[in-house]
Amino acid sequence: MNSKTSFDLKGRVAIVTGASRGIGRAIAIGLAREGVSVVVNYVSKGAAAEEVVSEIRAAGGEAVAVQADVGDLAQHERLVGAAHERFGRIDILVNNAAMTRREPFLDATAKAWDETMDVNLKGIYFLSQAVARVMAAQKSGKIINISSVHDVRAMVNNSIYNISKAGLVMLTKSLALELAEKGIQVNCVSPGAILTDDTRPRLADPAYRDKVLAKIPSRRVGEPEDVVGAVLLLASPASDYITGTTLYVDGGMLL
Ligand code: NAP
């Protein structure tokens, strides 16, 4: 059988940032179901991360919860070290954790800019560098960045987030270009509206929900699990010739 067409992920090791809740949680559980050992990262909700680890172990998988703020470069070693010490290698990095600050442009502050960019761009850039050094030595690896439809479509009162996600697309292309010859592929998965702790309060408002649904040809808000298939594809050998690209998972929202 040609390994180029394989979706087999058994025995791989992944770090998933922001895996205690929402989309990151679904990705961690989805990878583990395919036989991947997972470092479940969180920033403050340790109990939620431990629940994800328990769910993975109960299903026969391997996982460990590791606290680290992606926006603090000094904490990255905890993630890389945990993957190495616990599982011996790193095959997949899913940069999922991100910050959103919803405020009008005229009220935006430099503090909000710095805090958002520290996590959404600087943190991802340097965590990817630390992990890519390990992957380069292994001569293979997959970096998957969770962006957003707002990397191409501006969202009102969310300019800093929009800009960070647009930057993430270029981060993806730039890293993909330099890492391709080292056997490392770097891609983005950009979700549309997904029901998570972040979006649930606003989507509970029927008027807002109807406005969102009107923009989605599939006529439903996505579940975190809707994002997992794209990540599994981009983590697997079947996508070894795909790099620097962005896959939109949005029920057709951008159409
Ligand atoms: P969420 O439900 O709010 O969960 C956020 C996760 O990120 C939590 O696990 C949180 O950890 C972690 N986190 C936050 N800041 C962190 C930091 N500095 N370091 C490490 N972990 C951190 O988020 P979500 O809605 O699933 O979004 C996940 C990703 O999808 C983000 O990149 C977001 O931009 C993107 N996205 C979401 C949507 C959507 O509709 N939900 C749409 C497009 C794109 P704790 O549990 O410890 O707080």
**pLDDT tens per residue, range 74-121:** 999 999 999 999 999 999 999 999 999 899 999 999 999 999 999 999
Evaluate if residue 4 carries a pLDDT over 90. Answer: no
pLDDT of residue 1: 60
Instruction: Place 5 in a pLDDT band, splitting at 50, 70 and 90.
Output: confident
Q: For ligand 1, atom 21, name the residue with the nearest CA.
A: 18
For residue 118, the ligand 1 atom closest to its alpha carbon is 18
Q: How far apart are the first and last CA of the chain?
A: 37
Question: Which strands sit side by side in the sheet containing 63-67, from one edge to the other?
Answer: 63-67, 37-42, 13-16, 92-95, 141-146, 184-191, 246-249
Evaluate if residue 246 carries a pLDDT over 70. Answer: yes
pLDDT of residue 248: 98
Q: What is the pLDDT of residues 140-199, one digit of tens each?
A: 999 999 999 999 999 999 999 999 999 999 999 999 999 999 999 999 999 999 999 999
116-139: string of b/e by CB count within 10 Å (b at 16+)? bbbbbbbbbbebbebbbebbeeee
Q: Which helix (H) or strand (E) covers residue 138, if one does?
A: helix 124-138
Evaluate if residue 238 carries a pLDDT over 70. Answer: yes
Q: What is the pLDDT of residues 7-47, one digit of tens each?
A: 999 999 999 999 999 999 999 999 999 999 999 999 999 99
Asked whether the beta carbons of 252 and 212 are under 8 A apart, the reply is no
- Tell me the β-bridge partners of 190: 248
Q: The pTM is what?
A: 0.98
Q: Look up tokens 């994002």; give the residue.
A: 227
Phi-psi region of 19 (alpha: psi -120 to 50; beta: other; left: phi over 0): alpha
Q: For ligand 1, atom 8, name the residue with the nearest CA.
A: 18
For residue 49, the ligand 1 atom closest to its alpha carbon is 46
Which of 27, 29, 43, 101, when mutated, tests ligand 1's pocket best, judged by the most ligand atoms within 8 Å of its CB? 43
3-state secondary structure of 56: helix
For the annotated catalytic residues, the residue numbers are 161
Give the domain ranges of the chain.
Answer: 3-249
Nearest to 124 by CA among 186, 184, 44, 64: 186
Q: For ligand 1, atom 27, name the residue with the nearest CA.
A: 23
Asked whether the beta carbons of 38 and 32 are under 8 A apart, the reply is yes
Evaluate if residue 220 carries a pLDDT over 80. Answer: yes
For residue 165, the ligand 1 atom closest to its alpha carbon is 34
* DSSP character at residue 122: I
Instruction: Place 3 in a pLDDT band, splitting at 50, 70 and 90.
Output: confident
The CATH superfamily label for domain 3-249 reads NAD(P)-binding Rossmann-like Domain (3.40.50.720)
